[in-house]
Chains A and B, each alone.
Chain A
Amino acid sequence: MTEHYPVLILLVPLFGALIATLLGRERQLACWLTALISLGVSSIFAIGNICVLLASGEGELRYRMGGWNENSGYEVGIELRIDMLAALVVAVVVSVGLINTIFAKTRVAGEMREKVAFFYALNQLLIVGLCGIIMTNDAFNLYVLIEITSLTSYALIAMGNRRAALSSFNYIIMGTIGASFYLLGVGYLYIKTGSLNIDDIHTVLQSGKLWGDASITIAFIMIMIGLWIKMALFPLHGWLPNAYSYAPGVVGSFMAPLMTKVMVYVMLRVMLWLFGGAYIYTSGLVWGELVVWMSIIAIVAGSFLALARTDIKKMLTYLIVAEVGYMVGGAWLADGAGLVGSMYHILSDAAMTFCLFLAASIVILRTGDHRLTAFNGLFARMPLTMIGFTIGGLSMIGLPPTCGFFSKWYLISGGIAAGHWSYVAALLFSSLVNAVIFFRIFERAYFGNIKGVVDEQLPDDGDGAPPLTLERVPLSMLIPLFLAGISVLLVGFYNQTLVSWLMDVIPPL
C-alpha cells in the first residue's frame, strides 16, 4: 500500500473533481463535502509520503505509472519521483488546498452562486495539476501538468468580478507564451538527448559532451524564460497582480500562496536535477551573477510597488513578486545555504502568504472595503482576525519567531557565504519596506480612523460605533486562519528539522 501513496495523492482529488461535477449545481453541500473528503484523504497520503521517505532512509521514492518496466515490453513511461523537497511541497499544496476548502464553505455560496460545483471541481483539478508538477519525473509530462493547472486557473480566476475576465485573458496570453517557451525548450532537449525522462536527460547532459552545444543553451534559456513568466519574476510579472486580486477571494487565497512557489520548485528541479549544478553554475551559460541581479531588481521593485498600493490584495500580490525574487536569488547564489534558504522559503512563504490572504479576505468581506482604510480600528473590533494578520505581517517583515525570520536567516547567510552583498542588502531593504507597509496597517488597526482619510464604508469608529462582533465571522473562516497562523509559527519553530531534511536533498554542486 505505502508504495502507492504518490499516485493516490493525485487520484483521489481527480475523482473528487469528477464527482463534484456530477453532483451538479443543486447539491452545494455535497460538493463541498466531496472536496473536503478527497483533499483530506489526499493530505493523509501526502503526510504518509513524508513518513515513508523518512522511514526508508533512501532519500527518494519512485513510482512507475502502470508498473511499466523493461521486462514488460515498455522501455519508457511516466515516472513519479519524490524526494523530501517534493514530499514537503506536495504536503503544503494539499493541506493548503484542504484548509482553503474549509474556508470556502460560506464564501463560495455567496461569491459564485450557480458555479459552486464547477469551483470545487476546478479547484481539485488544480491541486491534482500542482501535485503532478511537483512529483513527475518527465519533462513533457511536466508541460502537460503545467497546462492543466494553467487552464483550471484561467477558469477559476474568470469566475471573479467584472474585471476578472480581462485579467484572466491577460493571464492566458502570458501563461501560454510561458508554456510555449517551456515546450520549445523541452523539444530541443528531446532532439539532443533522445529522452524526456528527467533522469535520462540529466545522465546524458552530465557527461559534459553537450555543454557547449547551442541547442542545449537555447533549450536552457527557453525553459528558464518560460518558467520565469509562470512564476512572475519581475519584469515578467505583469499578469499576476490583477489576476490574483480580481479573482474570487477563495481562489486568490489558494493560488497566491501556491502557484508561484510551485513554479520556483520547478525551476529548482530543472536547475539541479535536469541540467545539474555543474552545468548551471560553472560550465554552461554562467548566468548566476546576472540572475541574482535580476532577483535583486525583482525584490526592490516588488517592495516599492507594494508600498505604493492602497488596495489590500494588490499590495499583497506585489509582495509575492518581491518574494519570488528572494527565492530565485537564493537558488542562483551557487551556495548550499542559499539553496536551502530558497527551498525553505517555498514552505514558509506559502504559509505566510496563505495566512495574509485569508485574513485579508475576511477583512474585505466584513468591512466591505478593499482598501487599506478597511483596517481602521480593527484590533479592537476583529481581534482574532487581526492576530492572524499580524502573525503573517511579522513573518513578512522577518521578525522572530515567525518562519519569515528563519527563511531570511538562511537566505542572508547564503548571500554572505557566496559573498553577494547586494543580494543581502536587497533582502534587508525589502524587510524594511515590509516593516513600513505592515506597521502602517497595524497603526491604522490600532488607532482607528486617521484624520483626513475619507472612509465611507465604515461607521466612524468613535465611541458610539457599533463594534463588528466576532460572531459575524463564521468559524469556518476563523479556523482556517487559525491553522494558517499556527503553521507560520510551526514552520518557523521546526526550521531546524526542515532544513536538515532539505540539506540532504541537494545534490552535490
Chain B
Amino acid sequence: MIEESYLPLITWMVALLAVPAILVLRKNPNAREGATFVAALAKFALVLAMLPAVMAGRVLRFSFGEILPGIPLEFRVDGLGMLFALVATSLWILTTLYAVGYMRGLKEHDQTRFFTCFAVSISATIGVAFAGNLFTLYLFYEMLSLSTYPLVTHHGDKAARSGGRTYLSHLLGTSVAFVLPAMIYCWVKSGGDMSFTDGGFLAGKIGAGDGLIVLLAFTLGFAKSGLMPFHSWLPNAMVAPTPVSALLHAVAVVKVGVFCILRVFTGVFGTDTLESLDITTAVTYLAGFTVIASSLIALTQDNLKRRLAFSTIGQLAYIILGVSFLSANGITGSVMHIAMHAFGKITLFFCAGAIFIATGKKYISQMVGIGRQMPVTMTAFLLGSLSIIGLPPFGGAWSKWYLFLGALDAEQMLMAVILVISSLLNIAYLLPVAVNALFRKPPADSGDDATAGIREAPVACVIPLSITAVAGFVIFLFPGLVYDLAQLLISNG
C-alpha cells in the first residue's frame, strides 16, 4: 500500500524553486510573474500525476533523515492530503492570474516580495498537506505563519502593523502554548512514534482525562482554523491585499488549520479511540457556538472583506463540527466542505477585490446598484454566495447535506438545528449584497452614474472569478472525485 516516491518532495519544492527565479527576475515583472505561473502549473501537474496512485488506494511516501529520535521528516500523500493539495494548487494558478491583475491594477509597491512570500506560503501549505507525521506538520505550520506575515503587513501602515501583530500573536502564540506541549506529550506517551496512522498512533495509549486535554490543546492550538475564541486574527488579517485574503485567508492558511484538526482526529487519535473515550463533545459545542456566533457577527459587518472573514470562521467551524460527530457521513461532509467552501469563498473574495479595483469601494452600504457597472463580477458573487449558503445546484449543497446527515447519525439534534439556522443566517448576510447590487438602483446621492455603462475590473481579475464561480456549479454536477477522496479517509480509518 505504501509506495516510496520522490514526487511528494518535488511537488513541495517546486514553489520554493520559484523563489530564486522570482528574485533574479525582479526587474522584469512579466518574466517574474512567468516564473510564478510556471511553478504553479508545474505544481498542479505534479499533484495530478500523483492522483491515480492515490485514487488506487496507495500512499506515496518520502522520508528524510531522522530529525528527532524516531521521527524523520516525512511526506505522505493520502486521500485527505491529495484533496487539499488539489484545491490549493489549482487555486494558486487562478490566484496568480488574479494577483497580477490586482497588484498591477492598484500599482502596488514591493511586488517582488509579495510574489516571493506567496510562493513560500504555498510551499508551506503543501508541506502541511503532505506531512506524514505530527512533527513535519508542525514544522510547516510554523513556516506558513512566518511566511504569510509579510503578506498580511504588506501595506506597512498602522493598520497593517496592528493586523500583523494580532496575526502572529494568535497563530504563533497558540501553536507554541498549546500545540507544542500537546505534541511532546503525544511523543512521550506513544513512545517516540508520531506518524499518522489510520487508527491513530495514540490509540490505546491515552486515557480519557489527558486525552481530552490533548484534544482541546490541539483544537485550540491550531488557531488557523479560526475556531472561537482564537478567531480574531482572521478579520484583522483582512488588511492584506485581496489576493492574499482570497487564497491564503479563505483557502490555504485557514484550511491548513482545519486540516490539522482533521489529522489530529483521524491520524493522531483515530475516530474509534475518540469514540470509546467519548471526549469530543466539548469540541462539538465549541464549533456549534462558533457557527452561530460568527454568522451573527457577520450580519453586523459593513466592510465586505470583514463580513466574508466572519463567514469563513463560521464555515470552518462546520468542518470541525462535522469531524467531531465521528460518523462516516460527518467526516465525508467535513472533507468535502474543504473543497466546496474553497471554491465558493475564493470567488467572493475575488469579487470583493475586483469591486475595490474598479470602484475603490470597501463597504457593503456603498455597493447598492453596483451590478450595473460590474455585471460579471456581481453575478459571480451571487453564484458564490449560493454555493456558500449550500443551495443546489452548487457544490456547497453536497457538503452541507453530508454534514447534516452526520449530525443525524450522531444523534446531535441540537447541532442539526444549528446547521439549519446557520444556513438561514448565511442567506441573511450574503444574499442581500448580491441582490442589492444587481437589482436595485444606486442611490441618487451616491455620486455613481447609473448610466455609465460597464466598468469591470481588469480582465486578469475577472477571468479567475468567473472560472471559480462556474467551478462551484461544475463541482455540484461532478462531485465524484472529492467524494472518493473523502471516502479513502473513511475506509482506512
Contacts and interface: CB of A to CB of B under 8 A. Distances in A.
Interface of A: 337, 397-401, 406, 408-409, 412-413, 416-417, 424, 428, 431-432, 435-436, 439, 443, 446-447, 493, 495-496, 499-500
B181 A416 contact: yes
A88 B169 CA distance: 36
Interface stretch (B170-178, B388-396, B467-475): B170-178
A435 B172 contact: yes
Contact of B173 (A416, A435, A443, A447): A435
A409 B176 CA distance: 11
B65 to A, nearest CB: 8
10 contacts: A401-B139, A409-B184, A412-B184, A416-B184, A416-B188, A417-B188, A428-B180, A432-B177, A439-B165, A446-B150
Contact of B176 (A435, A443, A495): A435
Interface in B198-221: none
**B66, B68, B146, B176: most-surrounded residue (chain A CB, <10 A):** B176
A443 B167 CA distance: 13
Contacts of A499: 69
B26 to A, nearest CB: 14
Contacts of A431: 176-177, 180
Interface string B135-174: 0001100100010001001001000010011001100110
A227 to B, nearest CB: 29
The interface residues of chain A, by DSSP majority, are classed as helix
Contact of A447 (B139, B146, B161, B181): B161
Given A406-B68, A447-B156, A496-B69, A398 B176 contact: yes
Given A400-B138, A446-B153, A496-B69, A412 B180 contact: yes
Given A408-B180, A417-B188, A428-B180, 9 more contacts: A397-B176, A409-B68, A416-B181, A428-B177, A435-B168, A436-B169, A439-B172, A447-B153, A496-B67
- The majority secondary structure among interface residues of chain B is helix
B164 A443 contact: yes
Contacts of B68: 406, 409, 495-496
A163 to B, nearest CB: 34
Nearest to B173: A432
Contact of A443 (B161, B181, B184, B188): B161
Nearest to A443: B161
B285 interface: no
A412 B181 contact: yes
A85 B172 CA distance: 33
A446 B69 CA distance: 36
B185 interface: yes
A425 to B, nearest CB: 8
B187 interface: yes
Contacts of B169: 435-436
B69 A400 contact: no
A144 B225 CA distance: 58
Contacts of A436: 169
A500 B69 contact: yes
Contacts of A439: 165, 168, 172
B181 A496 contact: no
**Which of the listed residues B66, B142, B156 has the most CB atoms from chain A within 10 Å of its own CB?**
B142
Q: Which 9 A-B pairs have the closest CB atoms?
A: A412-B184, A431-B176, A400-B139, A413-B184, A416-B188, A413-B188, A428-B177, A496-B66, A416-B185
Range class of the B interface residue count: 20 to 34
Contacts of B181: 412, 416, 424, 428
Contacts of A400: 138-139, 142
A490 to B, nearest CB: 13
A407 to B, nearest CB: 12
Contacts of B176: 397-398, 428, 431-432, 435
Contacts of B66: 496
Interface in B180-195: 180-181, 184-185, 187-188
A493 B177 CA distance: 23
A405 B173 CA distance: 14
Contacts of B187: 413
Contacts of A398: 176, 180
Contacts of A424: 181
Nearest to B135: A400
Nearest to B172: A435
Interface string B268-289: 0000000000000000000000
A500 B208 CA distance: 33
Q: Which has the most chain B C-beta neighbours within 10 Å: A400, A424, A500?
A: A400
B165 A443 contact: yes
Contacts of B138: 400
A43 B139 CA distance: 34
A409 B173 CA distance: 16
B454 to A, nearest CB: 39
Nearest to B176: A431
Nearest to B177: A428
Nearest to B178: A428
A337 B172 CA distance: 26
A413 to B, nearest CB: 5
A398 B184 CA distance: 14
A495 B161 CA distance: 36
A444 to B, nearest CB: 10
Contacts of A496: 66-69
B367 to A, nearest CB: 32
A443 B156 CA distance: 10
Contacts of A435: 168-169, 172-173, 176
A447 B161 CA distance: 8
Nearest to B158: A451
Contacts of A500: 69
A92 B66 CA distance: 24
A449 to B, nearest CB: 11
B294 to A, nearest CB: 26
Nearest to B140: A400
A399 B177 CA distance: 12
A435 B175 CA distance: 12
A288 B181 CA distance: 22
A506 to B, nearest CB: 15
Nearest to A400: B139
Nearest to A398: B176
A395 to B, nearest CB: 13
Interface string B79-91: 0000000000000
B116 to A, nearest CB: 14
Nearest to A447: B156
B157 to A, nearest CB: 9
Contacts of B146: 399
Nearest to B185: A416
B371 to A, nearest CB: 39
Contacts of B156: 447
A499 B71 CA distance: 14
A412 B68 CA distance: 14
A495 B71 CA distance: 12
Contacts of B177: 428, 431-432
A398 B67 CA distance: 15
Nearest to A408: B180
Interface in B395-442: none
Nearest to B150: A446
B210 to A, nearest CB: 10
Contacts of B188: 337, 413, 416-417
Nearest to A409: B184
Nearest to A390: B146
A503 to B, nearest CB: 9
B149 to A, nearest CB: 9
A395 B177 CA distance: 16
Contacts of B168: 435, 439
Contacts of B69: 496, 499-500
Interface string B380-392: 0000000000000
A416 B176 CA distance: 16
A347 B181 CA distance: 22
Q: Among the interface residues B164, B172, B180, B187, which one has the most CB atoms of the partner chain A within 10 A? A: B180
Contacts of A432: 173, 176-177
